[in-house]
Amino acid sequence: MKNKRIQAKWNEKLIMDKGAPGRRAHIPMQLDIPSVEVPDKYKRISPAKLPEVSELELVRHVVRLSQMNHGVDVGEYPLGSCTMKYNPKVNERIARFEQFTELHPDTPDQFMQGSIQVIYELQEAIKKITGFTGVTVQPVAGAQGEYVGMLIAQAYHNERKDNKRTTVLVPDSAHGTNPASAAMAGYKVIELPSTSEGFVDLEVLEAALDDTVAAFMITNPNTLGLFEPNILKISELVHKAGALMYLDGANFNGIIGMVTATSMGFDIMHLNLHKTFSSPHGGGGPGSGPVGVVDKLVKYLPSPMAVYDKEKDHYSFDFDLPHSIGRLHGYYGNFAVNLRSLAYIYRNGGEGLKKVCEAAVLNANYLMEKVREIKGFTVPKSEKVPRKHEFIASPYRMMQETGISANDIAKAMLDYGVHSPTIYFPLIVHEAMMFEPTEGETRTNLDHMVLALKEISDLAYEDPDAVHRMPLLTGSSRLDEFSLAKNPVLSKKSKK
């Protein structure tokens, strides 16, 4: 018990089930001006049944709920491929500057020089970090960045009248968004099996490449945390076939500052600012998914682009982009997210970003060596090769010997105040558990995770039923997800 941690359990009712008629929290200001009556034909028939709570009631409700929520600020969060790194507090302070928060995006250029400068400087910083000559920071999530990348691929091949290119290749270890984004952009997706060591199979790739392939989308380091050793050869083959190289930058924390995307031969990439560049994940979003491209693709980037006239010292938006794929967002993307990431980049500098990478990779490899020693676990594929920012452990043996699965271990870890790793992904490893500790964790925290896994392993071999019952110290125990999927209750209305 001494290594476990207890989360609050408040049995907090739904806010709609709290309060009483007439209680008030925020009361809007009323002006001394004439009241207007809504004409009958437009009048709402019955008022919305919203809560009626006092301000203190609301505060306690949200504070209690927050205490039933795990975040990076609460405990270890080794969720693979999600890069749950520390969200620096100075970024939050900067993001609250009211000249940024209170600015309407249609404000004339001369009054939003600061906001446009942030967008412009982030474009420039990402160019340097990735090596690309054009960068947009408009896409608001990694998946939207991927979609932008695929629209650019379409625009490029179409303009060249190279209309036969209807397929996109992805490795079988790809993130789910890759095939989904390619399909949304009208491509047929072909999955390529990886080698037994988890790398791109050059023979398979070569056989799949022909004049119908528009792009090859890969993640490097891949979802096993392995750097693709043949990356230069892969780029050469793909380019020879006339296709484009797309880099999914979800795992960029494993190579940032060590190598650029263009030096590996990539033509297009997206980054996830909420991963590598420290903006908070916010319980699922908002994120930001900037896209970088090589010279020949710059003209297709989304509209508008932030530009700077050095002579006049003036920032503005360029809408005059006749080849652009258009816009994907109502305004200029998730500005406040981009702002935080620019602050992060400047706080670290080039030197710091490299150190971030080294420390993240060291933490992952240190943790991997310790987990490998725990009974029931293996680290499959390319066993002797160092990982980058993340690694896959497999409790397949434990599963066979005790019946305890990756999911059971993930749930048991919660009782130690540690969020579970990503499980059952990538699909090419049995019982995959993908750990990404990030550079933010101390050695003490890494050792705590190891200790937790050891105790769970011991218990699995002694009393597997006890593991099945975990977690017991969390805001809720295991939930009935099956009945819910059968009969979905998605709002208070449908809750009988």
Partner 1 sequence: MSFYESYIGTSESERNEMLTAIGMSDILELFSEIPEGILLKKPIELPGPYSEAELTRIFAKIAKKNIDPSTIVSFLGGGVRQQYVPAVLEELMRRGELYTAYTPYQPEVSQGMLQLLFEYQSQVAELLGMDIVNASMYDWGSAMGETIKIMHRINKKNKIIVALPISPNRIEVTNAYIKYTDIKLEFIPSKNGNVDSEKLIEILEIEAAKDKKEREIAGIYFEYPNYYGTLIENTEKICELTHAFKGLVTVGVDPIAMAILKTPGEFGADFVVGEGQLLGNPVNSGGPLLGILASRFERKWIRQVPGRLIGATTELESSSAGYCITLQTREQHIRREKATSNICSNQALTAVVASIYLSALGKQGVIELAESIMNRAHYLANELNKIDGVTAPKSNGFFFSEFLAEFNGLTHDKLEKICIDKGFVPGKAIGEDGCTRLISVSEPQSKEDLDNFIACIKEVMQ
Q: Please, which of residues 7-66 interact with partner 1 by CB under 8 A?
A: 7, 11-12, 14-16, 19, 23-36, 38-39, 41-45, 47-53, 55, 58-59, 61-66
Q: Give the sign of the dihedral formed by CA 205, CA 206, CA 207, CA 212.
A: positive
Q: Any contact of residue 441 with partner 1 (CB under 8 A)?
A: yes
CA distance to 371, 402, 418, 444, per residue, from 448 (Å)? 12, 23, 9, 6
Positions in 296-315 near partner 1 (CB under 8 A): none
Among 78, 80, 88, 249, binds partner 1 (CB under 8 A): 88
> d(Cα 140, Cα 85) in Å, to the nearest integer?
19
How many residues make contact with partner 1 (CB under 8 A)?
201
For residue 108, give every residue at least 6 positions away whose Cβ sits within 8 Å of its Cβ, in sequence order, or none.
none
**C-beta of 416: minimal distance to partner 1 in Å?**
11
Pick one of 351, 373, 383, 465: the residue that binds partner 1 (CB under 8 A). Answer: 351
Q: Which of 325, 198, 215 is nearest to 265 (CA)?
A: 215
Spatial strand order in the sheet of 188-192? 134-136, 291-293, 268-271, 244-249, 213-219, 167-171, 188-192
For residues 211 and 331, which CB has a smaller minimum distance to partner 1 in the complex? 331
* Dist. CA 68–CA 105, nearest whole Å: 36
CB of 269 vs partner 1, minimal distance in Å: 15
Mark the segment that binds partner 1 (CB under 8 A) among 185-193, 204-212, 240-248, 453-461.
185-193
Indicate whether 107 belongs to the interface with partner 1 (CB under 8 A).
Answer: yes
Among 4, 299, 323, 347, binds partner 1 (CB under 8 A): 347
Q: Are 167 and 188 in contact (CB under 8 A)?
A: yes
Site mask for partner 1 (CB under 8 A), range 404-433, x = bound:
------xx--x----xx----x--------
Q: How far is the CB of 37 from partner 1 (least distance, A)?
A: 10
46-75 burial: b if 16+ Cβ within 10 Å, else e: eeeeeebbeeebbeebeeeeeeeebebeeb
Write down the least CB distance from residue 42 to partner 1, Å: 5
Considering only 133, 307, 386, 451, the residue that binds partner 1 (CB under 8 A) is 386
Cis bond upstream, residue 488 (ω within 30):
no
- Shortest Å distance, C-beta 323 to partner 1: 14
Whether residue 171 is preceded by a cis peptide bond, meaning omega within 30 degrees of 0, is: no
Q: Which residue reads 């009323």 in tokens?
A: 30
Cβ–Cβ under 8 Å, residues 423 and 414: no
* Candidate residues 134, 249, 292, 333; the one interacting with partner 1 per rule CB under 8 A: 333
Q: Do 439 and 363 meet the contact criterion of CB atoms below 8 Å apart? A: yes
Contact stretch for partner 1 (CB under 8 A) within 211-219, 236-244, 342-350, 456-464: 342-350
Of residues 160 and 314, the one with the C-beta less far from partner 1: 314
Smallest distance from partner 1 to CB 7, Å: 6
Backbone angles phi, psi at 163, to 5 degrees: -80, -5
- Kindly tell me which of 179 and 395 has the beta carbon lying closer to partner 1: 179
**Of 89-97, 209-217, 292-300, 448-456, which segment contacts partner 1 by CB under 8 A?**
89-97
Which C-beta is closer to partner 1: that of 296 or that of 495? 495
Asked whether position 90 contacts partner 1 by CB under 8 A, the answer is yes
Confirm or reject binding of residue 67 to partner 1 (CB under 8 A).
yes
Among 202, 258, 296, 318, binds partner 1 (CB under 8 A): 258
**Binding residue for partner 1 (CB under 8 A) from 246, 335, 391, 396?**
335
Decide whether 264 or 393 has the Cβ nearer to partner 1.
Answer: 264
What single DSSP character describes residue 381? S
Residue 179 binds to partner 1 (criterion: CB under 8 A): yes
Backbone φ, ψ for residue 134 (5° rounding)? -135, 135
Query: Closest CB to partner 1 among 242 and 352?
Result: 352
Q: What is d(CA 359, CA 364) in angstroms, rounded to the nearest whole number?
A: 9
**What DSSP string runs through 293-313?**
E-GGGGGGSPSPEEEEETTTT
Q: Which residue from 133, 162, 167, 184 is in contact with partner 1, where contact means CB under 8 A?
A: 184
Q: Which residues pair with 378 in a beta bridge?
A: 394
Q: Are strands 268-271 and 134-136 parallel, antiparallel or unpaired?
A: unpaired
Residue 162 carries which side chain, given as an amino acid letter?
A: D
Instruction: Name residues contacting partner 1, limited to 193-252 (CB under 8 A).
Output: 226-227, 229, 231-232
